Amino acid sequence: MSAEKIIADWQKKIFKPVYWLEGDEPYYIDMVTDYAEHHILSESEAGFNLTIFYGRDADWPSVVNACMRYPMFSEKQVVLLKEAQYMKDIEKLENYVFKPLASTIFIVAYKDKKVDGRTKFGKGIKDKTEFLSTKKLYDNQLPEWTSQMIAKHGLSITPKALALLVDHTGNDLNRLQNEVEKLTVNLGSRKTISEEDIERYIGISKEFNVFELQDAIAQKNLAKAIRIIQYFASNPKAAPIQLLLPTLYAYFSKIYAVFGLENRSEQSLISYFGKNPFAAKQATLAVNNYGYDGIEKILLLLHHYNLRSIGIQNAGTEPSELLKEMVVKMIC
């Protein structure tokens, strides 16, 4: 069962007595609970028939008692248990969850973890409830997911702007959606999101960011790399070294894996890099410029300078100086 299917059923007035939402991707859990809170019941019905609990403050008898009430002036009532992972003795909901009241729609949002599926309770919720389990998207899935989400807003985005947005935001689907909604408001009548829009409305420099540093290293463009590092030195919050180095390591690790692919053509790499032609072109350039040994050397240097950045074998060298020293060794 997917979040979209649950909501589609609700829009058709198809309801089940208990919905158990769990997993480490909160975006889909939030999507379902938000719809349940604001759209299942009309405004007049919600005043009598919507009850919201939070796991830190709720006790299981109060939750069960709320679920056992009958709706007033409505066919259904909705009981939401948010942040259920923090609720003590949550397994004591078992008797109600396994034998629920048909007139109650009980929705449990159990974020960032999962109930032990080996227990009686864990096995029961999978069998007795409408069960949704979520998991984080892989990094290579983010560009396509973001592009599809942008398309649902009736917009498109340039490949470079997409890379900037995803690299800046990371694997946080709620934040990605918020950023796209911010762009939607500011675009006016335009329908294509550009790098300039990302810079203006999201606050990411289109010239000085980790994505451009990757590109400079891939091109073996030392002058460009040094300019970007100097910008980082003047704007420490733009790209702290503790975030920058792991991002570079993840990127060049992915390029390193390209050497294990049978087909290394740019067209083939588009799919490998989340259907992002710009990233595929950049990767092809890096593969051609460095070869297997060169990319391996970059990864070893990133590991070495990551240790130095946390004080190992480093006598107080400034982060910007560490970065300059590192890219010189990579490129030259």
Closest CA to 17 of 81, 92, 78, 61: 78
Angle (CA) 181 172 140, round 5°: 105
pTM over 0.85: no
Q: What is the mean pLDDT of residues 8-37?
A: 96
Mean pLDDT of the chain: 91
Domain containing residue 301: CATH number: 1.20.272.10
- The tens digit of pLDDT for each residue in 231-286 reads 999 888 888 898 899 989 988 999 999 999 888 888 888 888 877 787 888 889 99
The total of other beta-carbon atoms located within 10 Å of residue 316's CB is: 5
Same domain, 86 and 167: no
Q: What is the CATH number of the domain that holds 32?
A: 3.40.50.300
Same domain, 47 and 93: yes
Judgement on whether residues 124 and 172 belong to the same structural domain of the protein: no
pLDDT at 281: 86
Residue 315 has pLDDT above 80, yes or no: no
Q: For 6-89, where are the E strands, in sequence order?
A: 18-23, 50-54, 77-82
Q: Which of 110, 134, 158 is the last residue of a domain?
A: 134
- Specify the pLDDT at position 56: 93
pLDDT bracket for residue 61 (50, 70, 90): very high
Number of domains comprising the chain: 3
pLDDT of residue 159: 87
Confidence of residue 164 (pLDDT cuts 50, 70, 90): confident
**pLDDT band for position 316 (50/70/90)?**
confident
Q: State the pLDDT at residue 193.
A: 95
Q: What is the mean pLDDT of residues 186-191?
A: 90
What values do phi and psi take at 186, rounded to 5?
-90, -15
Question: Which of helix, strand or coil describes residue 115?
Answer: coil
Q: Which domain covers residue 228, as residue numbers?
A: 210-331
Q: What are 23's two structure tokens?
A: 């997993």
Residues 7 and 121 both lie in one domain: yes
pLDDT score, position 87? 94
Query: Pick the residue with more confidence: 91 or 206?
Result: 91
Residues 80 and 128 in one domain: yes
